[in-house]
Structure 1
Amino acid sequence: MRIAVIGSGALGGYFGALLARDGHDVTFTARGQHLDAIRANGLRITGQTEIRLAVDVTDDATRIGPVDLVLLAVKATQLEGVLANLEALVGEQTAVVTLQNGLEAPSLVADVVGRDHVLPGVVRVYTRIAEPGVIDHMGGPGSITIGEWENADTSRVAAIRAAFAAAGIPSPAPADIWQDLWCKVMFVVPTGMLGALADAPLGVQRTGLRENLASIMVEVRQVGLAQGVDLADAVEQTLAFADQMPAEATTSLHRDLDAGIPGELDPLVGGVRRLGRRAGVPTPLFDLGHALLERRLG
């Protein structure tokens, strides 16, 4: 399979390396010191997975040409900057898997390449860039869940899942990819926002701030229900998932905001607010949290 990995950071570097190791024709995009290090020394994965590969890497996605599969692995804040180059990668049969946190990426990509090419994806893995050219795999399921826009059971999704599985990437088949996406958002966004507001890791949020956390999750559920997504038991399930996670865990949104960096505040917290407004669903806790965090950032 010919694959373009757009963004070879913590997610793209890790998953792309697994696919390249399994024999797929993978081309990565990168920038700056990360690009230079990969060109000079290859791409390294350390930690729970150990890989070192010489890989094809470029800073110009338009040079890659049409591929079978695009793994769109840039952060949500970087998405706008790569959309213009996507059409050069997309042929008649190309699938574009969106791996961004938040809710808006699939629609933004579909506006450029067409809905038929887009496979919404949900990633569950803990990775980070340890240094330029080196990705540290710290844990987590290491999975990519994908599905067709209308949740149809198609041969292309089956083939991509099989390729993922053969490369060591679990790819469960969800009954509803949108439900899975919203359930991830229900965990990542409330814990990121509340964690930053209260300077509290997950262990504090799920105990002393549990009612506050649940109330924020309820707002996500209400917005999702207005989109037609079945989230009836999602708050309880998400809290139960949070109870299983390390007490010291924090999200990248929390860490960025603590460092004075906006990070994905707008695509994550702002994204829930925008969808709520369009659906006529009030989100007062998200509105308050967004205002306080923007004020802190100045």
Structure 2
Amino acid sequence: MAKLLSDKKIAILGAGAVGSFYGGILAKSGFDVTFIARGRQLEAFKQTGLTVKSYKFGTFNQNIRAAAQLDGIYDVIVIATKSGDTAKACHNINDHLSESGFVVSFQNGVDNIQTIRKFVDIKRIIPASIYIGVSVETPGTVVHSAEGLITFGPLAETDLDHINELKEIFDKANLDYRVDNNILLVQWKKLLWNLAFNPLSAILEATCGQLSRDSSIRRLMENIINEGVQAASKDGIEIPHDYISSIPDAVVNLENFKTSMLQDIQKGKNPEIDGILKPVMDRLESAPYCETLYRILHFKYGKKFIYTPKLTVDVIVENEKSEILLIKRKNPPHGWALPGGFVDYGEKVESAAARELFEETNIKITTEELHLLGVYSDPARDPRGHTVSIVYYAKSSHNPTAADDAAETAFFEKNKLPSEIVFDHKQILSDYLHKK
């Protein structure tokens, strides 16, 4: 007797950002979902469950079942691991599929199916391509910020009953999807976007919007994309010209998004270099742009590496009227803030504080006039990335003049501070005023 749809057992193999988000939506919709995770993500799942923050589905916490490896029989196994982890993850996958079960690949790249088919009958494999902005905020919490369309379709050998069953599952979960009978073209189109944005985002530590807006980087993207198009043609895949030209502008709702490579690097994890760049290098005799990116990334991030927060300084200046100096920022995040900025390599932090104060306000003080308030290191304190700030305070009666990153400067009474104060500067000021 066939199982009811609601009785289907689903495993998410690789519960990172993508796997956790879609697994969370499936679990919320009533499916029996098991998350296969590791490290701090697995610990968080077991202790507090999964929290999803989605622009579309809202914020919710879901009690889930999590394990370190497959330990049951499942009707659907979703593979959401990095490409390089595919073979290891799939080594015993066939032992955990039900008689009528099937596998869905939610992975980047175009070569994962060839790896998966070594372990599972090709008739039971469904490739998928996903456009989504999703990230792990903290272990156990994922943030869905943009898009979310799943495109999947059959290979020539795929059992079409599995396609229909997957459609029913996604319908029940209210997930956005479409079925495309040329799924290999879809995967190559997604790989071209990843080729353009992921490696450069990782090397330059830039968001998608920053890359797209820079004319010199766009020209570099075009050369990288061109190599990807040539590689796709080796598989008999012809990419439409209008799509090729649209890739550098394909950042709608992703202007401030950090690619998966950059997210991994900032978490101290090895980025998915091979899955994105190797398909091009393996298909072409010469791919100088992709090979250069590949060698740079492997040298810098392919093995053990150190990635630390950026070091900044902030300065609280109080005048003879007991007013507090703030600057109005020219650049995002916009709003009022304490004078401050990044510490230069080879520079003492107290020297950086005096320098930044002068550059932004024209107020000159000596390092001896600075007093240490404290160190502020919350990873969420700066929306641009993890920074650690050393905060000083000082007295000065000089009149400020806006310069550098400051559009305006003004002294404010302590009980009449502006409402739009960015970063964690409200907390810093509160600490300072209580200290006084």
Q: Which residue of structure 2 lines up, in the alignment, with residue 106 of structure 1?
A: 113
Residue correspondence of structure 1 range 195-234 to structure 2 within 5 A:
195-206=201-212, 207-208=214-215, 209-233=217-241, 234=243
Q: Which residue of structure 2 lines up, in the alignment, with residue 295 of structure 1?
A: 299
Q: Using the TM superposition, give the Cα deviation of residue 236 of structure 1 relative to its aligned residue in structure 2, in angstroms.
A: 1.6
Once the two structures are superposed, residues 217-271 of structure 1 have per-residue CA deviations (whole angstroms, 9 ceiling, x without a partner) of 01111110110113132312323424x3544433122454578754111221123
CA contact (8 A) 1:6 1:12 kept: yes
- Evaluate the alpha carbon distance shift between residue 249 and residue 129 of structure 1 in structure 2; reply closer, same or farther with a 3 A threshold: closer
Question: CA separation in 2, counterparts of 1:137 and 1:204?
Answer: 20
Does the residue aligned with 1:135 lie in a helix, a strand or coil? strand
- Evaluate the alpha carbon distance shift between residue 18 and residue 212 of structure 1 in structure 2; reply closer, same or farther with a 3 A threshold: same
CA contact (8 A) 1:151 1:175 kept: no
2:167 is the alignment partner of 1:161: yes
Q: Which residue of structure 2 lines up, in the alignment, with residue 239 of structure 1?
A: 248
Q: Which residue of structure 2 lines up, in the alignment, with residue 24 of structure 1?
A: 31
Does the residue aligned with 1:113 lie in a helix, a strand or coil? coil
Q: As a proportion of its length, which structure holds more helix?
A: 1
Opposite residue 273 of structure 2, the aligned amino acid is L
Opposite residue 250 of structure 2, the aligned amino acid is F
Q: Which residue of structure 1 lines up, in the alignment, with residue 66 of structure 2?
A: 57
Q: Which residue of structure 2 lines up, in the alignment, with residue 5 of structure 1?
A: 12
Q: Which residue of structure 2 lines up, in the alignment, with residue 171 of structure 1?
A: 177
- Evaluate the alpha carbon distance shift between residue 221 and residue 32 of structure 1 in structure 2; reply closer, same or farther with a 3 A threshold: same
Q: Does 150-159 or 218-227 show the bigger shift?
A: 150-159
**Number of equivalenced pairs:** 290
CA contact (8 A) 2:124 2:159 kept: no
Q: Which residue of structure 1 lines up, in the alignment, with residue 144 of structure 2?
A: 137
Question: CA separation in 1, counterparts of 2:39 and 2:180?
Answer: 37
Please list every run of at least 4 consecutive aligned residues from structure 1 whose deviation after the TM superposition is greater than 6 angstroms.
Answer: none
2:87 is the alignment partner of 1:83: no
CA contact (8 A) 2:126 2:158 kept: no
Q: Which residue of structure 2 lines up, in the alignment, with residue 273 of structure 1?
A: 281
Q: Does 199-208 or 287-296 show the bigger shift?
A: 199-208
Q: Greater relative contact order (Cα 8 A, min sep 6): structure 1 or 2?
A: 1
Question: CA separation in 2, counterparts of 1:261 and 1:133?
Answer: 17
- Structure with higher Rg: it is 2
- Evaluate the alpha carbon distance shift between residue 15 and residue 34 of structure 1 in structure 2; reply closer, same or farther with a 3 A threshold: same
Q: Which residue of structure 1 lines up, in the alignment, with residue 122 of structure 2?
A: 115
- Evaluate the alpha carbon distance shift between residue 159 and residue 38 of structure 1 in structure 2; reply closer, same or farther with a 3 A threshold: same
CA contact (8 A) 1:27 1:55 kept: yes
Backbone CA RMSD of aligned residues: 2.4
Does the residue aligned with 1:50 lie in a helix, a strand or coil? strand
Unpaired segments of 5 or more residues in structure 2?
Answer: 1-7, 304-436
Q: Which residue of structure 2 lines up, in the alignment, with residue 46 of structure 1?
A: 53
Opposite residue 252 of structure 1, the aligned amino acid is S
Q: Which residue of structure 1 lines up, in the alignment, with residue 398 of structure 2?
A: none
Opposite residue 291 of structure 1, the aligned amino acid is R
Question: CA separation in 1, counterparts of 2:203 and 2:189?
Answer: 22
TM-score norm. by structure 1 comes to 0.87
CA contact (8 A) 1:151 1:177 kept: no
Question: CA separation in 1, counterparts of 2:268 and 2:34?
Answer: 33
Unpaired segments of 5 or more residues in structure 1?
Answer: none
TM-score norm. by structure 2 comes to 0.61
CA contact (8 A) 2:146 2:253 kept: no
